[in-house]
Structure 1
Amino acid sequence: MRQATGTYGGRTAQERRDERRERFLAAALDLFGDRPGYRASSVAALCEAAGLSTRQFYEEFRNLEDVLARLHLRVNDLAEQAVLRALPAAEGLPFERRIAAVLRAYVTAATEDPRRLRIAFVEIVGVSPELEEQRLVRRSRWVDLIAAEADAAAGRGEAAERDYQIAATAFIGAVNGLLHDWVAGRVAAGLDEVVAELAGFMIGAARPRRRGGP
């Protein structure tokens, strides 16, 4: 299908397409991240929620799975950007305080909108081999980031010298499980308690191990 070109109403064709795409994504965040959820949604329902036509939908996306994939990447990007902003701001702080500051940035970004959390940890799981691969690739980026920070801390003498890939993988699983249950109301705790618990987990993993002990 040919795309419109030129300007209309003071906006270029690309600007109008960008606006339509954002309207579809905003509507999908509501439908997939709240009720009825991704699996109970349809292209027709999404178009109605966005106030756009099915023709316009297929100009921007292949199918609903394509929309979910883009939302998942966006949610991860927002959390990752928050962490990358927090890392230089926490530079120079003691190890424990630096970990807490970075975790606070992540937890705040990940949970400030429960719809994003559902997209990242619930709706994306088991949809298709393609989306499962995307989910695992993005999770591996978090593992690599955590392992790199732990290695840097070890180089400064703040953490034990060891391979942190396994510990980082376990930590990501703990983070995902705790945040999911916390936002769902299954964990009665405040933000400070959640951050402290996760920081303690990471600090414990980074401490030098005693000989003959765990």
Structure 2
Amino acid sequence: MAGRLKQPTGRYGGRTAEERQAERRGRFLDAALQLFGDTPGFRATTVAALSEAAGLSTRQFYEEFRTLEDVLAALHLQVNDWAEESALAALADARDLPLPERATAIFRAYATNVTSDPRRIRITFVEVIGVSPRLEEQRLARRSRWVGFICAEAAVAVARGEAARRDYRIAATAFIGSVNGLLHDWNAGWLDATLDEVVEELVRQLLGILRPTEGTGRSG
């Protein structure tokens, strides 16, 4: 399709065109979470199948999206947004706690959100891989955003004298890779551990990165 079909305007059934559009879009994303995140997966799903699962028509699909890749891109961002919102909410509640408690609260919230639905993990760590340069760019951009999150918290820890003063970008990038790999393997059943044990290991790794080592000074 060269572009999406023209959207309807005005009120219908007591709802605005924008409200109806948001509801349709949500139904397509819910259906995509099921089909892309479970069976048959993104690559084996058709526009017709997705529309049927959403209880909508293919014409309505093209009013909202150009391609199935657009749906996967939107769903990938949504799943990441859910996880980020959980981590930020936990951080707000734990802001005044010492570093170990803060880190535990953040990663328990993140891990609980991501693993609450196995389909979310598949969308984030499996289905977006290798689809297109555009989705790879988006995936790496979201990873960079998580790296920025870790670096920002490292800066807070440095200011409080809880962490060594240094550039954390490389360490944070390596740590995010560890988070993704560990949660994926745990969810796939390749790791015999509880989620609490996984979170504890992630916190130990993060504290090992942040805490001053011998020969480094502490900030005042």
Q: TM class by shorter-chain length?
A: over 0.9
Greater shift, 89-98 or 69-78, is seen at 89-98
**Is the counterpart of residue 164 in structure 1 residue 168 in structure 2?**
yes
> Of 46, 53, 56, which residue of structure 2 is paired with 1:49?
53
Q: How do 1:29-108 and structure 2 match up within 5 A?
A: 29-108=33-112
- 1:120-199 equivalences under 5 Å are 120-199=124-203
CA RMSD of aligned residues (A): 1.3
Deviation at 1:4, TM superposition (A): 1.9
CA distance in structure 1 between the partners assigned to 2:213 and 2:186 by the alignment = 30
CA contact (8 A) 2:79 2:124 kept: yes
Q: Which amino acid aligns with 1:133?
A: E
Deviation at 1:25, TM superposition (A): 0.7
Return the letter of the residue paired with 1:187: L
Could you tell me which runs of 5 or more consecutive residues in structure 1 were left unpaired when the two chains were aligned: none
Deviation at 1:31, TM superposition (A): 0.3
1:195-214, aligned counterparts within 5 Å? 195-211=199-215
User: Structure 2-normalised TM-score?
Assistant: 0.93
1:162: how far off?
Answer: 1.0
Distance in 2 between the 1:34 and 1:2 partners? 32
Q: 1:94 is aligned with what amino acid?
A: P
Residue 16 of structure 1 pairs with residue 20 of structure 2 = yes
- 1:26-66 Cα deviation digits (max 9, x unpaired): 10000000011101111111011111111110000010000
Correspondence for 1:115:
119
Structure 1 residue 6 displacement after superposition: 1.9
Q: Percent identity?
A: 67
For residues 95 and 7 of structure 1, the distance between their equivalents in structure 2, rounded to whole angstroms, comes to: 51
Normalising by structure 1, report the TM-score.
Answer: 0.95
Q: Please, which runs of 5 or more residues in structure 2 have no aligned partner?
A: 216-220
Cα distance in structure 2, aligned partners of 1:31 and 1:145: 31
- Per-residue Cα deviation, 1:152-182 (whole angstroms, up to 9, x for no partner): 1012110111111011001100000000011
| 1:68-87 deviation per Cα after TM superposition (whole angstroms, max 9, x unaligned) | 00000000111111111111
